[in-house]
Structure 1
């Protein structure tokens, strides 16, 4: 490995004379943002990437898992159309827990929640964008970029933030910011459903909220940037039409109205589920906790806000379960004569049909119930938390850990050997449920990967030495034959 100012570099010589270069980012040498490496690499990329359309850059997270065939699918998609500047695949979240399940559903239409979330966003959102226009964001965890397209926007992409909105648009979502620049430059961003990759999703509530606290404002800022420059973007990019921009405007306005809509939906759902509750009482029961949470987002620390959000999320989840029971009861009594029943069947039918069209991921539909009960938390409380913390520009996830001291060394050793669901009361007692050796298992996996790389490098050096020795023998034999 060659040490560089930004970390390190690994280079492999492939068959056919091609080179595979892997740039490794060291968080201790660059500023702690995902795009921090971009400010150290322009000159290096300028020497590596020429203006050829056949030069590609593969962006990966350190914890992503994929097969070589997934990259080949992206390469084939890029070679079909020279105007494609970036292509992304189907991201599958992995991990344990309810939040991961949620994201699995969302990304196909907290790991259980995330499984549903990831599924829905790919089944519906990205597929729709790909058909009527082009994808607005190619996630940095697994995407392929065309070298010439990146060079077109590299100078703007590496601009240091100087205004308040820049810190949100540039630093909080560097992959979406890069795709926005590519779209405004006339390039197309595509979605390739057959290219699969696995990535670890946040398993804890606080980490999940901090991740979405970055994503939500960044998404809104980049979409607003495209909408304000609508005419120039439509003129420059053949894949973006006025109708497509109108579609994005509709989604943008819907996102702004979502918290209020969810609030009124909960008020109405309680009335439907519990007919004995008067409207004013339902409104008051929802207004008080939401109002207190909004005040906490202004006057309290992030830790207090997250604790309050977790408590409200648990309460609203129970309320949504009770509401669901009430809706099912009403549907059984009135059958299809109820508007609520028709609407519920329509929404559920959309998800079920989408799952049927993706049989390999049909199991994600099982997490839909968790997605339903999490709607107040993820569509209302999370948005309020994001807006109340716009001034927080720290990454929030994958932060650099503090050096281990002698005082907490023993506790860290316990955490390294035990992983699971823990419950503790200060230093009085500590309970761990479903303990696993997950961290040790991950360490062994990483060690296996490093051993494989070392073995591959040793094999390449040995083959090169054998080729050199064989060529030397051939040259000697040639000289001997010539002398004869």
Structure 2
């Protein structure tokens, strides 16, 4: 959805190598700079672990528009275990943040040299960037408010406890071995996922019960939740051949706190880890 939005209002920020076609002329204009060695520590996250995003940024700086096609179909290797997924996200989160900083650093030049960077698109990129900082806090509030409603623990008490829990998790990730970190992360993923599902189900029951008992259809705070939920089902009606994807919403809810809180903390705690994280088994490449 993000790439579709970027394609409509501006330019796609990242074209993964396995799903992309490039003009030779576009590559020729950036290859000399793209092939330069990594000289500074910060370059590791842009030139090494985020090489596809780095190349796309270079092409946009030279005026190219990167487009997205919903009709393209391809296959690639994806993480097939939780361990690989965690390691992949550690690399992606850090490289995405570093490359986003590079885009904003070169934003004046991008606006001058690339017609895709309109004010609307710049505003869109800014709000995406700030969401990265706001989403951990908003997710914690979502969890604690939900637990306040479900188990009647005051919000002002449970929120500091949850924050302290994530701080403890970050400290442990710095101290523990790689394998112990993965095990600890899996435990936290399970706890957070089940908590999030309980919160969502509990909130749905609360909203329905409130509407029935109050028998009042005037605008209330929880109506925004109804509107957001209705928009998802409306999209499914517009795309009936893909409506089965709604089933995956369960997994989306389960992994929501993991994606917005847990994995960013894990990534920052392992900022010195420069391993690729996935497909490190040589037999995969040799097809043995």
Superposition TM-score, scaled by structure 2 size: 0.90
Is 1:380 paired with 2:256?
Answer: no
Cα-to-partner distance string for 1:13-66 (whole Å, 9 max, x where unaligned): xxxxxxxxxxxxxxxxxxxxxxxxxxxxxxxxxxxxxxxxxxxxxxxxxxxxxx
Which protein has greater RCO, CA pairs closer than 8 Å, 6+ apart? 2
Instruction: Determine the structure 2 residue equivalent to 1:241.
Output: 118
Task: Judge conservation of contact 1:169–1:222 (CA < 8 Å) in 2.
Answer: yes
Among candidates 271, 276, 280, match of residue 399 of structure 1: 280
Aligned to 2:155: 279
Structure 2 counterpart of 1:369, from 247, 250, 253? 250
**In the superposition, relative to structure 1, how do residues 322 and 158 fare at CA in structure 2: closer, same or farther (>3 Å)?**
same
Shift of 1:394: 1.1
CA distance in 2, matches of 1:252, 1:137: 15
The structure that has the greater radius of gyration is 1
1:265 to partner: Cα distance = 1.8
Say yes or no: does 1:323 pair with 2:199.
yes
Q: How many residues align?
A: 282
Task: Report the CA distance between 1:285 and its aligned residue.
Answer: 4.1
Does structure 2 retain, via aligned residues, the 8 Å contact 1:227–1:245? Answer: no
User: Structure 1 length as normaliser, TM-score?
Assistant: 0.55
> Compared with structure 1, are the counterparts of its residues 147 and 201 closer, same or farther at alpha carbon in structure 2 (3 Å cutoff)?
same
- Whole-angstrom distance in 1 between the partners of 2:66 and 2:230: 30
d(CA) in 2 for partners of 1:207, 1:159: 29
1:256 partnered with 2:133: yes
Q: CA deviation at 1:338?
A: 7.9
Alpha-carbon contact 1:331-1:338 (below 8 Å) kept: no
Q: Hey, which bits of structure 1, 4+ residues long, moved more than 6 A?
A: none
Residues 65-91 of structure 1 deviation map (CA, whole Å, 9 limit, x = unaligned): xxxxxxxxxxxxxxxxxxxxxxxxxxx
CA distance in 2, matches of 1:345, 1:197: 36
C-alpha separation in 2, matches of 1:282 and 1:261: 14
- Higher share of residues assigned strand: 1
| Distance 1:360-1:140 versus aligned 2 partners, 3 A rule | farther
**What corresponds to 2:45 in structure 1?**
168
2:45·2:99 contact (CA, 8 Å) conserved in 1? no
Q: Shift of the alpha carbon at 1:401?
A: 4.3
Residue number in structure 1 paired with 2:231: 350
Q: Is this contact kept in 1: 2:50–2:99, CA < 8 A?
A: no
| Alpha-carbon separation, structure 2, partners of 1:339 and 1:310 | 38
Inter-partner Cα distance in structure 1 for 2:205 and 2:229: 16
Pairwise CA distance, 1:144: 0.2
1:182 to 44, 51, 59: 59
Instruction: Kindly indicate whether the alpha-carbon contact (under 8 Å) linking 1:320 and 1:372 is maintained by their aligned counterparts in 2.
Output: yes
Deviations, residues 271-297 of structure 1 (Å, cap 9, x unaligned)? 1233x2222442244234212101112
Residue 100 of structure 2 is matched in structure 1 by 223
8 Å Cα contact 1:289-1:312 kept in structure 2 = no
Match of residue 186, structure 2, among 310, 314, 317: 310
The unaligned stretches of length 5 or more in structure 1 are 1-123, 403-438, 448-484
Query: CA contact under 8 A between 2:93 and 2:267: conserved in structure 1?
Result: yes
Task: Indicate the RMSD between aligned Cα atoms, in angstroms.
Answer: 2.2
1:398 offset after TM fit, Å?
0.6
CA distance in 2, matches of 1:360, 1:195: 17
Task: Output the CA distance in 2 between the equivalents of 1:285 and 1:329.
Answer: 26
